[in-house]
Structure 1
Amino acid sequence: MTSPSRLGDALKRRRQEQRLTLEQLAAKSGVSRAAISKIERGDSGASTPVLGKLAEALDLSISQLVGGPRSEPVLYISHDSQPTYVEEKTGFERRSLSPLYLGRGIDFVLNRLPPRAKTGPFPSHRAGVEEHLYVTKGKLKVTLNGEEHILKSGDFLFYRGDMNHTFENLSGGPCEYFIVIDSTRLR
């Protein structure tokens, strides 16, 4: 699991790689300079929507921002080494399953929501990003720009990533769903 200090280090490194000041990243992401500074120092975690805004402003996926293995011709990623982010407030868990090749364009993640928990809203991605969602357990409400879609185990939903989206577990048990975030059209 990504600790606040590890997340802070990763955020600062990514911001500096792009030669952005705190003020520039704040303006680009819509997240306050003070909040970014707290995250970078490890004094505070980040909600999933804030993490999404920061990643999008840095032209990264959340998985790329929180870390993980890089380019290898064959890559085995054990369960224990898969980058995982857990939002403290909701218990929402996001586990990165795909190799995090920069510029690759595919991000494959497993999401888990505790009973009755809700995420977001996630900020929209850039135009051209698409998401493929498959529910493996539970009942999930996906809201895309205000339009609700109710999915149960085995259901699939495809949508443009340039819409605001929230996810809500409607079941009394955990909800689990895979998302493939595809930005290959932008490459």
Structure 2
Amino acid sequence: MEVRLAERLAELRGEHGWSLDELAERSGVSRSTLSRLERGEISPTAAVLGRLGAAYGRTTSRLLAEVEAEPPQVVRAGEQRVWRDDETGFARRSVSPPHPGLRGELVEGTLRPGADIAYDTPPVPGLEQHIWVLDGSVEITANGQAHELRAGDCLRFRLWGSSRFRCPGPEPARYVLAVVLP
């Protein structure tokens, strides 16, 4: 999957007619990092994928889905793709993978204690999100407003600005994220 992701990132830049310098300016990701990502030398972090998604007008899920085959109607638990960012302590399970003909998807997120992920901009302005915490607690800041959520709590919003997910611990936080494109 990482090889296909590297190839797709290079294709997207080509489709937009952008140089590495242009994409670096639009995404806030250094030119050298972009070059290494497109050659498959390194894997992107969650934050970098978020910045690239924003530059291309795509959610992280959609970017990842573009490198997978057409998703089936039923996705068995053992077949759900899990992507990990070991640097930030974030794991993301694509419970219902995005599909070009659908506007919504479900993602299970897990943050280890101390994990802290910040996104400068939404991948798609006005993106609707519903976050239901299953285990632990998570601090979510969306559009400049901070929320402390515990198991059973649900937060919903449309994302126009930056966002941040932080797990204060002492146990991991696990949540369901429902994403609906505008």
Describe the shift of the 1:71–1:84 C-alpha distance in structure 2 as closer, same or farther (beyond 3 A): closer
Retained in 1: the 8 A contact 2:141–2:163? yes
Retained in 2: the 8 A contact 1:129–1:181? yes
Retained in 2: the 8 A contact 1:131–1:182? yes
Identical-pair percentage: 31
Paired with 2:86 and 2:4, the residues of 1 have a C-alpha distance of 15
Q: Following TM superposition, by how much is the alpha carbon of 1:90 offset from its aligned partner in structure 2, in angstroms?
A: 1.8
Retained in 2: the 8 A contact 1:12–1:40? yes
Describe the shift of the 1:122–1:97 C-alpha distance in structure 2 as closer, same or farther (beyond 3 A): farther
The answer on 1:95 being equivalent to 2:74 is no
Q: Following TM superposition, by how much is the alpha carbon of 1:37 offset from its aligned partner in structure 2, in angstroms?
A: 0.9
Paired with 2:42 and 2:132, the residues of 1 have a C-alpha distance of 32
Paired with 1:96 and 1:162, the residues of 2 have a C-alpha distance of 23
Q: Following TM superposition, by how much is the alpha carbon of 1:52 offset from its aligned partner in structure 2, in angstroms?
A: 0.5
Secondary structure of 1:119's counterpart equals: strand
Q: Which structure has greater strand proportion?
A: 2
Describe the shift of the 1:81–1:19 C-alpha distance in structure 2 as closer, same or farther (beyond 3 A): farther
Describe the shift of the 1:20–1:71 C-alpha distance in structure 2 as closer, same or farther (beyond 3 A): farther
Give the length in aligned residue pairs: 180
Give the TM-score normalised by the residue count of structure 1: 0.83
Q: Which segments of 5 or more consecutive residues in structure 2 lack a partner in the other structure? A: none
The answer on 1:61 being equivalent to 2:55 is no
Q: Following TM superposition, by how much is the alpha carbon of 1:43 offset from its aligned partner in structure 2, in angstroms?
A: 1.5
Equivalent of 1:159 in 157, 160, 178: 157
Aligned to 1:133: 131
| Cα distance per residue 1:41-80 (max 9 Å; x no partner) | 12122221111110122222211212334265xx122334
Secondary structure of 2:50's counterpart equals: helix
Retained in 2: the 8 A contact 1:70–1:100? no
Q: Which segments of 5 or more consecutive residues in structure 1 lack a partner in the other structure? A: none
Retained in 2: the 8 A contact 1:98–1:107? yes
Aligned to 1:107: 105
Q: RMSD in angstroms over aligned alpha carbons?
A: 2.2
The answer on 1:170 being equivalent to 2:175 is no
Give the TM-score normalised by the residue count of structure 2: 0.85
Partner AA of 1:58 in structure 2: Y
Q: Following TM superposition, by how much is the alpha carbon of 1:28 offset from its aligned partner in structure 2, in angstroms?
A: 2.8
Paired with 2:41 and 2:150, the residues of 1 have a C-alpha distance of 38
Paired with 1:79 and 1:15, the residues of 2 have a C-alpha distance of 33
